[in-house]
Structure 1
Amino acid sequence: MSLPEIKYCPGTLAEGFDTYSRICLKRVFNGKKVHHVLPYDSPVSNADSDGLFDDSRRHISISGVQEKYLVILKKNKLRLTKEGERGTFILKPIPSFGNRVDQMPANEHLTMQIARQIFGIETAENALIFFRNGDPAYITKRFDIKEDGSKWAQEDFASLAEKTPQTHGEQYKYTGNYLDLFDLMKKYVPAYQIEALKLFKLLMFNYLFSNGDAHLKNFSLLETSMGDSRLSPAYDLLNSRIHVEDSDFALEDGLLPKNLAQGSIEKQFFILAGKAELNEKQVQKIFELLTGNMERVERLILASFLSEKTKRNYLQSYQGKLKRLR
């Protein structure tokens, strides 16, 4: 694979850039002039790069099925971390499983940009980046690292619910329903009404953009400067239906407990909001926001680094879900 011709910022997807825009550099790379090509070939593309990534993988502690690597920014250069270094970026190359895996980095990047730019969802800062041999990767800035290099406390909802492989089996992170998340937030988040609305918006977004892998470990609480907790920025957002045959919701019981899951999907979201004790007017505003803005979504899809076929599939998937919500 050769390096692509760049016509849109690989960070913000703004038109008229052949590398990262100033806005992207400021948000993602602390204003440093980082190039959109890494000084490595992709993993397993040649023996030298494979060895480097193997070394990096040995000291990473971030969980998840897809292979991830920690990256650090020194001056204007990104590089893999060495033993004892704390990486400030997570790099996700093309994975080794699923359909159309070469599209996964661009898929995640696009979905994260739509969430932030169009629907105002706070997300982890992110961009698309390329290896020397042209393979794409998704790169995201860690939000759990403070400016002084220490860490903010972060706990995902599987841990909050005390669910582990030992207590709930290998599929522990897919157990339960999404109303459970609000019950946990009531217990651990002082500013519940504010943070719960953010969660509700994120759940609607995940449905609308076919993120069927939004399991318990893909939602977290993050320590604040006051020492309490809030909902973390969103991460791991992508249209999973493009890559695997999955259901509308990752959790096995769906949006609600089975005895409450009645009627259309729109009705079920309103039942969820009521059970979570959310403000009705604010919930209605979220519905109006997420079921509008179709033209803006289409423009970002067209500006993305997805293949033309995958752009069409992504748009069709979104339009199908939109009809079900209206």
Structure 2
Amino acid sequence: MSLPEFKYDPGTLKEGFDTYSPSTLRNVFDGKKVSHILPYDAPKQNEETNEEFLENRNRFSISGVQEKLSIILDKNKLRLTEEGEQGTHILKPIPIDLKKVEDVPANEHLTMQIAEQIFNINTAPNALIFFKTGEPAYITKRFDVKPEGGKWSKEDFASLAGKTAENAGENFKYDYDYVRLGKLIQKYVPAWRIEIEKFFEVVLFNYLFSNGDAHLKNFALLETVNGDHLLSPMYDLLNTRIHVNDPNFGLSGGLLPDELRSVAYKRSGTPTLADFITFGKEIGIPERRIKKIIEPFAKNYEAVLEMIDRSFMSAASKKGYTIYYNTRRKLFS
């Protein structure tokens, strides 16, 4: 695989850049002049690289199906962490065993940029980056690592719900619904009235952009400089429908318990606008605020399409992404 021709910043997707823009360097790499090309061949390209990546995988503690590697920003160079080092970034190479697998990094990058730039959702700083051999990878800055060293306290919602594989089975992070998840925010976050609106935005965004893997471990509380805990920046946002035949929602209980669903939702398995309003009320948001939050998602259509077009996905995946987005937009009609 060869490196693509760059017309857009592989961070912000803004036009007119053949490498990272100053904005991307500032937000993702602490202002250091980092190359968009890693000093490594992609995994499995040669035995030496495989061994180095294998050692890194064995040290990295973040769980998940998709492969994640620990990266450190050392002066203005990115490299794999060594024994005893705290990584500053997470790298996700192209995974395996998925449809259109080569587009997974660009899909996640695009979806995260849409969330941040168009819908003002707080997301983990991120960019695309490329191996010397041309393969893309997704890179994100760790928001739980303090600039001076050490880590901020972070707790995902599987932990807050008291769910583990040992006490709830292998599907522990999926066996829940979003209303109960919202109730956990009310329980554990003193400033929940503000944070619950952010949560509502993300649930709506995940539906609109076909993220069917938004499970309990993809939401977390993060310690702040004041010592309290708020919703962490969002992470792992991507259009999963392009790669797997997944359900509408990552949690098996769906948006709402069955008794609260509209007739249309019960019949089709697809929520209506009224169901999202019911959802908002159930998690403590006044109806007037719900409608205000929903309003930007009914607009910004052209901005979304422009960003899809500027993404690094293949033409086929861009087309699929657009079709899925347009289909879900019918929620607002």
Q: Which amino acid aligns with 1:240?
A: T
Unaligned runs of 5+ in 2: 265-270
Match in the other structure for 2:322? 315
**Aligned mates of 1:147, 1:158 — CA distance in 2:** 27
Residues 212-254 of structure 1, C-alpha deviation per residue, up to 9 Å, x if partnerless? 0001100001111121110110000000000000011011110
**Aligned mates of 2:108, 2:25 — CA distance in 1:** 19
Alignment of 1:151-300 (within 5 A): 151-262=151-262, 263=264, 264-300=271-307
Match in the other structure for 2:71? 71
Residues 185-210 of structure 1, C-alpha deviation per residue, up to 9 Å, x if partnerless? 11110101100000000000000000
Q: What's the secondary structure of 2:59's corresponding residue?
A: coil
**Aligned mates of 2:116, 2:106 — CA distance in 1:** 15
Q: What's the secondary structure of 1:35's corresponding residue?
A: coil
Q: Which amino acid aligns with 2:24?
A: C
State the Cα distance separating 1:281 from its structure 2 match.
2.4
Q: What's the secondary structure of 1:193's corresponding residue?
A: helix
**Aligned mates of 2:120, 2:273 — CA distance in 1:** 21
Q: What's the secondary structure of 1:95's corresponding residue?
A: coil
Q: What's the secondary structure of 1:204's corresponding residue?
A: helix
TM-score, normalised to structure 2's length?
0.97
State the Cα distance separating 1:280 from its structure 2 match.
2.3
Question: Deviation above 4 Å: which 4+ runs of structure 1?
Answer: none
State the Cα distance separating 1:274 from its structure 2 match.
0.8
Report whether the alignment pairs 1:114 with 2:114: yes
State the Cα distance separating 1:178 from its structure 2 match.
0.3
State the Cα distance separating 1:167 from its structure 2 match.
1.4
Q: Which amino acid aligns with 2:99?
A: N
Q: What's the secondary structure of 1:91's corresponding residue?
A: strand
**Aligned mates of 1:16, 1:95 — CA distance in 2:** 30
Q: What's the secondary structure of 1:147's corresponding residue?
A: coil
TM-score, normalised to structure 1's length?
0.99
